[in-house]
Each structure stands twice: as C-alpha cells, then as structure tokens.
Structure 1
Amino acid sequence: ISNGSVWISPRTCDDYWSEFRHCTSLWNQFHHYYTYGTTPSCKQWREDYNNCKEWEKHGSTEAKEALQRSERTRVEEQRKFTPVWNLRQEPPRDWHMPLNQEKPQDS
C-alpha cells in the first residue's frame, strides 16, 4: 500500500507475528497434520515478521520488496481456489413464500 510517497505494509508487524504464533501452535499443528498429513511450514510468516521489523526500523528496500513478493504470492494462492457453490445473481422467485415447517414424521 502506498500513502503518497511512503510505502505502508499491508499488515502490521504484530499481524505477521500473530500468524506465526498461530501457525506454530499445537492445535494448528495437529489440525494441519490431521487434515493434510503434514505439519505446516511457518517459515514464511517468520520471514515476513522479520522483514516487516527490518522495514520499520531501517527502511530496507530489500525487506520491503520481500514483503511485497510474499503478499503477492499469498493473494495468488488464494485465487487458485474456486468457490464450492455458485453465487446467485438474483433471489429465488418464491423467496417471499413461508418456509415449509411441516416435515414428515419418521416412525
């Protein structure tokens, strides 16, 4: 994000640290292993945090460019996934009708 001539990180450094802490948490490690069969790599969150701190303290252009690349990669990864459901363009024709509250009783 650019504010005039000053570049602003899309996230605060605390956000990167929080993501890193979440990634390395026991619960997330277990969930990721259960779901995908591997433990998650949290290296990029740590690098992003370090680059953010480097940018804030010293204005390092290398750190700034590394953060920009990382965020672009993250956005591209999110775009790879297609929605599970097709979004409606308009409401159903009978949207105003009451829902059928009566369901057959299973005996």
Structure 2
Amino acid sequence: MAGYKEPGFQDRQKAAMEARAKALEKLKAKPPVDPEVLAERAAKAAEREKAQAEKRAAAKAEKEAKAAAEREAAEQARLAEEAAKPKERTAEELKAARDARYAARKARKK
C-alpha cells in the first residue's frame, strides 16, 4: 500500500494556476450588468442616503430641542432658587431696622 505523497512546489503552483484560470473563465462567462439595473441600484442608493440624512437631521433637531429644554429648566430652577432667597438689604435698610429696634427698647424702658 502506497502512502500519502505530499504535493511538491511544482504541483501546488500548477493547482493555483488552474484555480486562477477557472475563476477567470467563470468571471468571463458572467453576463454584463444591464444599465437599467445599474440605474435602479443608484436610485435605491440615493433614496437610502436621503432617508438616512433625514433621520440624522431629525435626531439632531430632537437633541437640540432636548438641550434647549434642559437649559430652560435649569434657568427656571435658578430663578426659583433666587426668588426663594431672602432679598439682600442695603446698608441704609439695615441701619433703619437697627435704629427702629433701639427706639423700641428705649420706649419699653420708660
């Protein structure tokens, strides 16, 4: 019984050349693409690109609207916080309040 004989370099080179020739024959046998089919494919690709562009624009607009709403909410929160703080009084108002308390104490002592 004969054992397995590993193919040599020449055998591998010949097999590769035959495979290339077979692939080339198969490619040559393929009919050319019809121009109508090419035009249809181009139209579909353009439609797909247009739909994707519209989708991106809608997503961008939604994102901008969400950011604007967040900014508006933050501004409203800041205004509410500012309104909740007691108003800072001027030096004259503080002096007048102190003088009124002093006068009230003096009036109680008499």
Q: TM-score, normalised by structure 1?
A: 0.27
- Structure richer in helix, relative to its length: 2
- Considering Cα pairs closer than 8 Å and 6+ residues apart, tell me whether 1 or 2 has the greater RCO: 1
Please report the TM-score for the alignment, with normalisation by the length of structure 2. Answer: 0.26
